[in-house]
Every structure is written in C-alpha cells, then in structure tokens.
C-alpha cells in the first residue's frame, strides 16, 4: 500500500500531493523518495513537536531538498514562540503560522471543504500564502 502511494506521487503531473498517514515508520523505510518538498505540520504541543522532530532528520536522510514546517492551531504568542524555538533548534524553516481557527472545526463538523465554507478564514489565507511560496 505504501509503495503504491509512493508510486502515485511519482507519476508525471504538475502537482502531486500526498497526505501521509500519521505514523512515521514508513518514512524510515523510505517511502517518499522523489519528493521535492515535505511539509511538516506542527501543533504547539510537546508530542506533536517531538513527532516533527523525528520526521525532519528522516526527511533529510531521504534527500528531500525542501523540508518546511507549518505551525498550526496557535492560540497565542506563547504557542508561536514555543514552535519557533523548537523549529529553530531542529533547523526546520517555518513556512507559515496558522492561528487556531474555528472555521476549520465548523467546516469539519459539516463535512465540507474549508475553501468552500470559509475561503477568507485565517487557515485558507495562510495556505494561499504557502502556495505562493511553493511556486
């Protein structure tokens, strides 16, 4: 199954985007070999940061040139500082910082796409900025 995800990621196309499963063991086995960019989503909680801290060196070992952090669900300046400090310590560049966003939960509850439900939400706007950075 993981081999199939990796193969699909490699097909000829303009943009292929893999939403990876939560566990990182497949990273250790080298699934996303031909990835140009890995986005590592980090919440300001110790365990989420710890997970990110394990992903980053594995991604680098795989030779992924661009590894970018995405700080998510930040409730205040302290959250932002915690993630910035952690990422700085790990040498992970933060691409965007997304505040805690009620619009995400609301869209989730309704089973709808955020970009349809709340195109002007902080999350949708931050991701638009991310898309510009990726170009």
Partner 1 sequence: MRIAVAGKGGAGKTTISATLARTLARSGKRVLAIDGDPNPNLGTALGVDPEVLRDPPRVPRNAADEVVDDAGRKQRVLKPEFKDFRAEYAVTAPDGVMLVHMTRVDHAGTG
Positions touching partner 1 (CB under 8 A) are 1-11, 13-22, 24, 27, 30-43, 47-48, 51-52, 55, 59, 64, 70, 72-73, 98, 104, 107-108, 111-116, 123-124, 127-128, 130-131, 134
Residue 128 is inside which H or E element, if any?
helix 122-134
3-state secondary structure 38-92: EEEEECCCHHHHHHHHHHHHHHHHCCCCEEEEEEEEECCHHHHHHHHHHHHHHCC
- From the number of C-beta atoms within 10 Å of its C-beta (0-12, 13-18, 19+), residue 121 rates as buried
Nearer to partner 1, 13 or 77 (CB): 13
Nearer to partner 1, 77 or 135 (CB): 135
Least distance to partner 1, CB of residue 78, Å: 18
Least distance to partner 1, CB of residue 77, Å: 20
Nearer to partner 1, 75 or 112 (CB): 112
């Amino acid at each position: 199954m993981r081999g199939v995800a990796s193969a699909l990621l490699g097909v000829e196309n303009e943009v292929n985007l893999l939403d990876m499963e939560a566990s990182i063991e497949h990273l250790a086995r080298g699934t996303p070999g031909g990835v140009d960019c890995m986005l590592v989503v980090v919440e300001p909680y110790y365990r989420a940061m710890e997970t990110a801290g394990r992903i980053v060196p594995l991604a680098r070992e795989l030779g992924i040139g661009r590894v970018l952090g995405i700080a998510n669900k930040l409730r205040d300046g302290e959250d932002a500082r915690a993630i910035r400090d952690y990422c700085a310590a790990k040498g992970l560049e933060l691409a965007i910082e997304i505040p805690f966003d009620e619009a995400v939960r609301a869209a989730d509850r309704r089973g709808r796409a955020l970009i349809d439900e709340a195109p002007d939400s902080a999350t949708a706007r931050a991701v638009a900025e991310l898309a510009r950075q990726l170009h």
